[in-house]
Amino acid sequence: MASSTPIKKVCLIGANGTVGSVITKEIVKAGCFDMSVLRRSNSSSLSPAGVTEIPISPALGLEELTKALAGQDAVVAAFPLKDVSEHLRLAEAAFNAGVLRYIPADYGSCDAASPQAQHHLKLYRDKTAVRVKCEELADKAAADPTGASPFTWTSIICGHFFDYGLRSGLLHFDIDTERAQILDAGDIKASASTLRRVGESVVRVLQRQEATRNRAVYVQSFCPTQLEILASLERATGNKWHTQHLDSNAFLDRETKRLAAGDHEAVEEIVFVLGTVDADWTRKDGYAMELLGLEDENLDEVICEVLAAHKAKA
């Protein structure tokens, strides 16, 4: 398949997850793709409406994956990197199956290529390993004179999942108690994306395959400081929030030691810090908002949406 051939058939794995369900919704909403999802045989989740289901064994073996992906133009990974070998096999299967574009499960909360991120968490070392694998496969495809595989890749890096992180408390803004934990002075800008923006970005990458081939693209909904988020929350609630300022280095050191001691809940806390102090995509060479035809969302409007949804569920 020539690289200029439009992507039509898209297969996603992880369609029922936090990120995957929204990506699925946006791909279906775009109305220009034939979508299918890989569904493990031991999964009790129902596949979303409007998509074709491709059953597969839980082991995600290379040969079975290759057969399952045959005929697909693009493959999107949207399941957690609990076992990096699964993600490496999926990329290789996409290559073997003749898939044109592979989108790995990069997404949030910070750039896996960051030395600080790699130092603190295996998660980001694993994400980097998958990206390196994609680069190797793309180089192999480009060097093959027969053109047997048209494989290319795009990593989408979006910062913190803002709406999800705000609802869940992962961003350390507690909606119920109206309390916030602010790192340092709270004046560091950090790119963050709503789940909707992540899904939109996947669609735009698939629609702009030449401009996005074999590269990482950095996207956002906005790039606020913690103090700007706090001010927006106070405007939306009409109340003054209680704040606690934390030293980011001390916080990161404490959580790193907690993780080393075997407490894996520290992972989310480390991700919170890294995605807050090292995630200003507007400074990145790969900042791709204009390239993808995307514009920033309105912070106040998004926060009001989150608060309204939270109130409705209360």
Q: Which domains does the chain have, with CATH numbers?
A: 9-157+194-218 (3.40.50.720), 161-191+222-284+292-312 (3.90.25.10)
- CA-CA distance, 251 to 278, in Å (whole number)? 15
Q: Are 41 and 188 in contact (CB under 8 A)?
A: no
Span 123-139, pLDDT tens digits:
999 999 999 999 999 99
Query: In the structure encoding, which two tokens stand for residue 207, read together?
Result: 């629609």
DSSP string, 157-201: E--EEHHHHHHHTTTSEETTTTEEEEETTS-----EE-HHHHHHH
Q: How far is 81 from 43, CA to CA, in rounded Å? A: 17
Residues 242-276, buried b or exposed e (16+ Cβ, 10 A)?
Answer: eeeebebeebbeebbebbeeeeeebbebbbbbbbb
Chain centroid to CA 100: 20
Instruction: Give yes or no for residue 110 having a pLDDT over 90.
Output: no
Instruction: Write down the pLDDT at residue 4.
Output: 63
pLDDT at 108: 82
Q: What is the model's pLDDT at position 1?
A: 40
What pLDDT sits at residue 198?
A: 98
